[in-house]
A and B are shown apart, each in its own frame.
Chain A
Amino acid sequence: MSGASPLNARVPAGPLETKWERHKFEMKLVSPANKRKYTVIVVGTGLAGASAAATLSELGYRVINITYHDSPRRAHSIAAQGGINAAKNYPNDGDSVFRLFYDTIKGGDFRAREANVHRLAEVSVNIIDQCVAQGVPFAREYGGLLANRSFGGAQVSRTFYARGQTGQQLLLGAYQALERQIGRGAVEMHPHTEMLDLLLVDGRARGVVARDLITGHVQSFIGDAVVLATGGYANVFYLSTNARNSNATAIWRAHKRGAAFANPCFTQIHPTCIPVSGDYQSKLTLMSESLRNDGRVWVPARGGDARPPNEIPDAERDYYLERKYPSFGNLAPRDIASRAAKQVCDEGRGVGATGLGVYLDFRDAIQRSGAASIADRYGNLFEMYQRITDEDPYRVPMRIYPAVHYTMGGLWVDYNLMSTIPGLHVIGEANFSDHGANRLGASALMQGLADGYFILPYTIGDYLASSRLSRVDAAGPEVRAIEAEVEQRTQRLLAIKGRRTVDSFHRQLGRVVWEKCGMARTDAGLREALAEIPEIRAEFWANVTVPGVGETLNQALEKAGRVADFLELAELMCLDALHRTESCGGHFREESQTADGEALRDDEHFAYAAAWQYAGDGVAPVLAKEPLAFETVHLSQRSYK
């Protein structure tokens, strides 16, 4: 590792267990009378954004909250199924704050900051208390106590859940708290409003420039600090499990204004999704990982075997997970199961019309315990599968394939969740902080709410109390100039009037990123992608067609702006993946594997967060490294044989 890092993570001194307590005491406070003098702009209304906006407003700050959705109840957090982790140790099975901390660091393949992760584990318990107080209908035992279940990457039951709709219920809890503040007039809510640029004054984030999606009107929102809670960038792949409108524009524009982007190549691929069925496909649907408890994963032993699955005898099937990972079998971790599926499909043994699928077969489980018992366990999932594919998984094996569904990378933030731009705070999936190179199940909801309810509301006060902020003139030349830039960009997109649709470019980009910066990455493949992406981008700006005008609701125009940003972000992802020649977590470099094909970390050279600084269009970004010191956890290689 070279030299001193220009990144100051501002991790408090002292023992790991007391850092947050001590920091909370040492941070400056804003007095109640002064809080109402400060305006905080929160972008996004998912778990992180809604919880932050509601909490800041409860504390007495003036809050302006914008979202591109029509209502703050719709953000993609709502689609999270499984649950939320918390170190409550209600089941008395040995869980603790330290164990949750340890599991998260290890699950992230030792690429997260210890102090942040420990704080996350500490506040996890407060989240559950808070959500219950709000009326989130978590699952209960007959005695009325909260129910828990276990989840991937943990040996304890620490996951709280509300049927298969945990994300929905947690989001509605935060949304209701937010609506209460809106009703009191304490939060100024702007739905149908998309952030298109960040406003800097004297080097500090002082507002955002946004487009009203209904009228096309471009306007600025000025405040004393900005919070981005705008989610991840998995849609750079075109097909992902993310909601269709999820995009990277807010974080990307902030990046171009100076916020470092950390670990963009850390993306997570979930092994059990319903495969792509045709070119029209718009998104991928996740099937719960729990299915692998009873389903057996296989492909035909020889390529090109077109027989229906039930006519292929056992001897001609390859139960490849059981073969390669005898001790974990079908329950091999997400990244490993995903790569193994890709491998057999690359060998030409994939199933289904596209050849990109593997079977998840319940035949043996049904024979063993009966269809009724399987229906009891997975009935709703089987129904969902049948609704989408029109195939009955009780009779025909499911077809599954991996799909992108989360991005661990994001804007670099310090311990206070502030980016490299003073005043710009980044929370939830939009930042890079807590999951390292791989996120554990049920931890995304935990992080979003930890940031929004319990961390940012403290740390932002410290920033405001210790900063001298000048008055910003909303009609002044600095603000007008950025608004004009945003308007020009919109006009430019509308004026191209080329022959290819926005989606066709997005699909083309997605294919390149998926093939070359997806489940397995190579030096050669990444170099090819780095050559292809600028070509796609050049053609986009010369030949895209965006019908309609800018003064009304124009969904093609919205998409065009987002895809234009993905076309830039994708390049940074590939560059990051190319430079990180080790394998870790979701980032698998084929050149860096053990003799038996497992991911091989290189702690000597890569135990750092890679934070990229934008240096201008067409100029190579500058890499800054935040060294990761593991003072509490011992670095070890994961093995699942």
Chain B
Amino acid sequence: MEFTLRVWRQAGPAAAGGFVDYPAPDISPDASFLEMLDVINERLSERGDEPIAFSHDCREGICGSCAMMIDGVAHGPVSGAATCQVHMRSFRTGDTLTIEPWRSVAFPVIKDLVTDRAALDRIIQAGGFITAPTGGARDANEILVPKDAADAAMDAASCIGCGACVAACPNGSASLFTAAKLTHLGLLPQGQPERSRRTISMVAQMDREHFGHCTMFGECQEACPKQISIDVIARMNRDYVRALATARPDRTAAAAG
């Protein structure tokens, strides 16, 4: 197959970026999108040109590293797939493919298609955990978790932290990411003691990181490679209101620290 790639090139965080066109002839339809970029990079390198920087690792849709807007769509045209799971047969030969990094204030570009997504880690730091230091746990089967709760928690926990939800959102909101973690932990008995403070802390951190607000466009769930439903956001909002009404603000502030 044959393509023209219009790729965002940006030398560094402070540099001005721009699109550069690359011809991409002789591409196997069975190559994944990242393998196609490997081929282009190999050709660039052979000429001594700098290859296109992009994040990637597991290449099977689980590590959450890869992150590209392909023709304006986060992770490209295949639903329920990360960029690494998109194959070139999903495009038509002769197409021009526009490839950009995630676009979000909270995800500054590091180079070319690589962005800094540390803001997502800081949301987890704010409360996306159950406090259970190693060693003090009781026998696992002493905690009963109804199967439907466990399954729903697993659905939410399947988030790979890629940031596609943020990139797809017209407001640049990280609500799907945050709510998925809140839902995962909030559905489990082990997650109850910290549920309110967790909700308040994580939502506050989301604001501090300059993510936008959720106005229920629903673009995030379309872009999510794990197809996490925006139902989790409704749940987060409900928990947030409840937490504000019941939590003592001084203690909450201490918990966020």
Contacts and interface: CB of A to CB of B under 8 A. Distances in A.
A70 B116 contact: yes
B222 to A, nearest CB: 18
B28 interface: yes
Q: Which 6 A-B pairs have the closest CB atoms?
A: A144-B144, A183-B125, A176-B129, A133-B137, A129-B137, A133-B132
B130 A390 contact: no
B59 A134 contact: no
B33 to A, nearest CB: 11
Interface in B77-98: 78, 81, 85, 87, 89
Nearest to B86: A387
Contacts of A55: 133-135
A135 B63 contact: no
B87 A79 contact: no
Contacts of A453: 134
B46 A73 contact: no
B237 interface: no
B44 A547 contact: yes
Interface in A59-111: 69-76, 78-79, 88, 90
A149 interface: no
Given A130-B137, A144-B147, A497 B59 contact: no
A70 B185 contact: no
A182 B127 CA distance: 11
11 contacts: A55-B135, A70-B55, A79-B60, A88-B140, A132-B190, A137-B157, A162-B157, A168-B62, A177-B129, A177-B134, A277-B28
Contacts of A69: 57, 65
A508 interface: no
Interface stretch (B35-43, B209-217, B243-251): B35-43
Given A55-B134, A133-B130, A180 B125 contact: yes
Nearest to B88: A280
Interface string B136-170: 11111101111100110110011011000000000
B235 to A, nearest CB: 16
Given A137-B150, A454-B134, A285 B60 contact: yes
B5 interface: no
A74 B38 contact: no
Interface in B14-60: 28-32, 34-36, 38-39, 42, 44-46, 48-51, 53, 55-60
A556 B141 CA distance: 48
A292 to B, nearest CB: 20
Given A130-B132, A501-B42, A71 B158 contact: no
Contacts of B32: 282, 388
Contacts of B36: 280
Contact of B63 (A126, A180, A243, A503): A243
Contacts of B151: 140
B64 interface: yes
Given A79-B58, A132-B140, A245-B57, A555 B51 contact: yes
Interface string A115-157: 0000000000010111111110111111111100000000000
A177 B132 contact: yes
Contacts of B31: 278, 280
B191 interface: yes
B132 to A, nearest CB: 4
A357 interface: no
Interface residues of B, number: 80
Nearest to B44: A547
Given A74-B64, A556-B51, A390 B138 contact: no
A163 B154 contact: yes
Contacts of B131: 180
A263 interface: no
Contacts of A621: none
B137 A132 contact: yes
A191 interface: yes
A565 B18 CA distance: 36
Interface string A448-462: 000001100100000
Residue of B49, B51, B87 with most chain A CB atoms under a 10 A cut-off: B51
Given A277-B28, A280-B35, A134 B130 contact: yes
A622 B196 CA distance: 59
B134 A70 contact: no
A50 B110 CA distance: 25
B153 A137 contact: yes
B42 A176 contact: no
Given A129-B137, A553-B114, 16 more contacts: A79-B62, A79-B63, A132-B140, A139-B154, A141-B147, A145-B141, A177-B134, A179-B121, A277-B30, A285-B60, A457-B134, A497-B48, A501-B45, A545-B45, A553-B53, A553-B110
Given A135-B190, A137-B153, A388-B87, A499 B46 contact: yes
A389 interface: yes
B103 interface: no
A177 B127 CA distance: 10
B118 interface: yes
Interface string A523-561: 000000000000000000000010110001101100000
A505 to B, nearest CB: 12
Contacts of A336: none
A501 B46 CA distance: 6
A278 B30 contact: yes
B117 interface: yes
Given A133-B137, A144-B144, A390-B87, A172 B157 contact: yes
Contacts of A283: 59-60
A214 interface: yes
A203 B58 CA distance: 37
Nearest to B186: A135
